[in-house]
Amino acid sequence: MSDLLQALAGVPNASLPFPGLATAGQPSAAALTAFRDAGGEVVLDIRDSMEPRPFDEPALVRELGMEYLNLSVRQGALDDRVMDQILEVVRDRTAQNRPLLVHCASANRVAGALLPHFILDRGMDEESAVETAMQLGLRGADLMEWGLDYARRHAKT
Protein backbone atom coordinates (compact mmCIF):
# COMPACT_ATOMS: atom_id res chain seq x y z
CA MET A 1 0.00 0.00 0.00
CA SER A 2 2.99 2.32 0.06
CA ASP A 3 1.98 3.08 -3.54
CA LEU A 4 -0.84 5.17 -2.06
CA LEU A 5 1.66 7.34 -0.24
CA GLN A 6 3.92 7.58 -3.29
CA ALA A 7 0.89 8.72 -5.29
CA LEU A 8 0.50 11.66 -2.91
CA ALA A 9 4.13 12.80 -3.20
CA GLY A 10 4.24 16.58 -3.08
CA VAL A 11 0.88 16.94 -1.31
CA PRO A 12 1.23 18.81 2.00
CA ASN A 13 1.50 16.47 5.00
CA ALA A 14 0.74 13.34 2.97
CA SER A 15 0.91 10.28 5.21
CA LEU A 16 -0.20 6.67 5.44
CA PRO A 17 -0.83 6.07 9.16
CA PHE A 18 -2.34 2.65 8.45
CA PRO A 19 -2.54 0.49 5.31
CA GLY A 20 -5.42 1.72 3.18
CA LEU A 21 -5.82 5.01 5.10
CA ALA A 22 -4.06 8.00 3.58
CA THR A 23 -4.19 11.51 5.01
CA ALA A 24 -3.10 14.80 3.51
CA GLY A 25 -3.64 18.45 2.89
CA GLN A 26 -5.31 19.58 -0.34
CA PRO A 27 -4.31 17.22 -3.17
CA SER A 28 -3.80 18.39 -6.72
CA ALA A 29 -5.73 16.93 -9.65
CA ALA A 30 -2.59 14.98 -10.62
CA ALA A 31 -2.27 13.57 -7.08
CA LEU A 32 -5.89 12.42 -7.11
CA THR A 33 -5.34 10.69 -10.43
CA ALA A 34 -2.19 9.04 -9.07
CA PHE A 35 -4.07 8.02 -5.91
CA ARG A 36 -6.70 6.31 -8.04
CA ASP A 37 -4.02 4.66 -10.18
CA ALA A 38 -2.40 3.32 -6.98
CA GLY A 39 -5.67 1.67 -5.95
CA GLY A 40 -7.41 4.51 -4.11
CA GLU A 41 -11.19 4.25 -4.12
CA VAL A 42 -12.60 6.87 -1.75
CA VAL A 43 -11.86 10.55 -1.08
CA LEU A 44 -13.25 12.09 2.11
CA ASP A 45 -12.83 15.86 1.92
CA ILE A 46 -13.45 17.43 5.33
CA ARG A 47 -13.11 21.01 4.12
CA ASP A 48 -16.21 23.16 4.23
CA SER A 49 -17.98 23.09 0.87
CA MET A 50 -17.66 26.89 0.68
CA GLU A 51 -13.86 26.88 0.97
CA PRO A 52 -12.16 27.76 -2.31
CA ARG A 53 -10.54 24.92 -4.21
CA PRO A 54 -8.12 25.06 -7.12
CA PHE A 55 -10.38 22.83 -9.27
CA ASP A 56 -13.75 21.05 -9.14
CA GLU A 57 -12.63 18.23 -6.87
CA PRO A 58 -15.99 16.42 -6.55
CA ALA A 59 -16.37 16.27 -10.33
CA LEU A 60 -12.81 15.08 -10.89
CA VAL A 61 -12.98 12.38 -8.20
CA ARG A 62 -16.24 11.05 -9.63
CA GLU A 63 -14.87 11.26 -13.19
CA LEU A 64 -11.95 9.13 -12.02
CA GLY A 65 -14.43 6.52 -10.79
CA MET A 66 -13.84 7.07 -7.09
CA GLU A 67 -16.35 7.83 -4.35
CA TYR A 68 -16.31 11.47 -3.17
CA LEU A 69 -17.65 12.47 0.23
CA ASN A 70 -17.62 15.89 1.88
CA LEU A 71 -18.14 16.33 5.62
CA SER A 72 -17.46 19.84 6.86
CA VAL A 73 -15.10 20.33 9.79
CA ARG A 74 -14.96 24.00 10.63
CA GLN A 75 -14.43 26.28 13.59
CA GLY A 76 -17.55 26.53 15.73
CA ALA A 77 -19.01 23.25 14.47
CA LEU A 78 -16.78 20.67 16.16
CA ASP A 79 -19.51 18.43 17.50
CA ASP A 80 -20.30 14.74 17.95
CA ARG A 81 -22.51 14.62 14.86
CA VAL A 82 -19.63 15.56 12.57
CA MET A 83 -17.24 13.20 14.35
CA ASP A 84 -19.79 10.36 14.18
CA GLN A 85 -20.10 10.85 10.41
CA ILE A 86 -16.34 10.94 9.84
CA LEU A 87 -15.76 7.82 11.93
CA GLU A 88 -18.58 6.00 10.16
CA VAL A 89 -16.97 6.65 6.78
CA VAL A 90 -13.47 5.69 7.96
CA ARG A 91 -14.67 2.55 9.72
CA ASP A 92 -16.93 1.46 6.88
CA ARG A 93 -14.48 2.02 4.03
CA THR A 94 -11.52 0.49 5.85
CA ALA A 95 -13.62 -2.53 6.87
CA GLN A 96 -14.48 -2.96 3.18
CA ASN A 97 -10.76 -2.69 2.28
CA ARG A 98 -11.48 0.36 0.13
CA PRO A 99 -8.36 2.56 0.21
CA LEU A 100 -9.36 5.96 1.53
CA LEU A 101 -7.84 9.45 1.41
CA VAL A 102 -9.01 11.83 4.14
CA HIS A 103 -7.93 15.42 3.50
CA CYS A 104 -8.49 19.05 4.36
CA ALA A 105 -6.37 22.05 3.37
CA SER A 106 -3.31 21.19 5.48
CA ALA A 107 -4.11 17.91 7.34
CA ASN A 108 -4.61 19.80 10.63
CA ARG A 109 -8.35 19.06 10.74
CA VAL A 110 -7.80 15.52 9.45
CA ALA A 111 -5.40 14.69 12.27
CA GLY A 112 -7.78 16.03 14.93
CA ALA A 113 -10.75 14.20 13.45
CA LEU A 114 -8.85 10.91 13.34
CA LEU A 115 -7.74 10.96 16.99
CA PRO A 116 -10.80 8.93 18.09
CA HIS A 117 -10.14 6.40 15.32
CA PHE A 118 -6.58 5.94 16.55
CA ILE A 119 -7.73 5.46 20.16
CA LEU A 120 -11.08 3.68 19.85
CA ASP A 121 -10.50 1.58 16.73
CA ARG A 122 -6.73 1.13 16.56
CA GLY A 123 -6.07 0.72 20.30
CA MET A 124 -3.55 3.53 20.64
CA ASP A 125 -3.13 5.24 24.00
CA GLU A 126 -3.75 9.00 24.09
CA GLU A 127 -0.09 9.96 24.06
CA SER A 128 0.70 7.79 21.02
CA ALA A 129 -2.45 8.97 19.24
CA VAL A 130 -1.57 12.64 19.79
CA GLU A 131 2.02 12.03 18.69
CA THR A 132 0.77 10.33 15.51
CA ALA A 133 -1.74 13.13 14.88
CA MET A 134 0.99 15.74 15.24
CA GLN A 135 3.14 13.85 12.74
CA LEU A 136 0.16 13.92 10.34
CA GLY A 137 -0.22 17.69 10.65
CA LEU A 138 -2.20 18.44 13.83
CA ARG A 139 -1.50 22.01 14.95
CA GLY A 140 -4.75 23.16 16.57
CA ALA A 141 -5.29 22.64 20.29
CA ASP A 142 -9.05 22.95 19.73
CA LEU A 143 -8.98 20.08 17.24
CA MET A 144 -6.87 17.96 19.57
CA GLU A 145 -9.29 18.56 22.45
CA TRP A 146 -12.28 17.78 20.19
CA GLY A 147 -10.81 14.43 19.21
CA LEU A 148 -9.60 13.49 22.68
CA ASP A 149 -12.85 14.52 24.35
CA TYR A 150 -14.85 12.45 21.89
CA ALA A 151 -12.59 9.41 22.41
CA ARG A 152 -12.78 9.69 26.20
CA ARG A 153 -16.57 9.89 26.19
CA HIS A 154 -16.94 6.97 23.78
CA ALA A 155 -14.32 4.64 25.27
CA LYS A 156 -15.58 1.25 26.38
CA THR A 157 -15.11 0.94 30.11
> Model confidence over 108-153: pLDDT tens digits?
999 999 999 999 999 999 999 999 999 999 999 999 999 999 999 9
Q: How much is the pTM? A: 0.95
CA distance linking residue 97 with residue 125, whole number of Å: 24
Which band of pLDDT confidence, cut at 50, 70 and 90, is reported for residue 76?
confident
CATH of the domain at 124: 3.90.190.10
From first CA to last CA, the distance across the chain in angstroms is 34
Which band of pLDDT confidence, cut at 50, 70 and 90, is reported for residue 1?
very low
Q: State which residues form the domain around 40.
A: 2-154
Mean pLDDT over the full length of the chain: 95
Average pLDDT over residues 79-105: 97
CA distance linking residue 8 with residue 24, whole number of Å: 8
Q: Considering Cα of 22, then 90, then 81, then 70, what sign does the dihedral take?
A: positive
pLDDT for residue 71: 96
In total, how many domains does the chain have? 1
Name beta bridge partners: 102.
23, 44
- What contacts 84, CB < 8 A, 6 or more positions away? none
pLDDT for residue 77: 78
Neighbours of 76 (CB within 10 A): 6
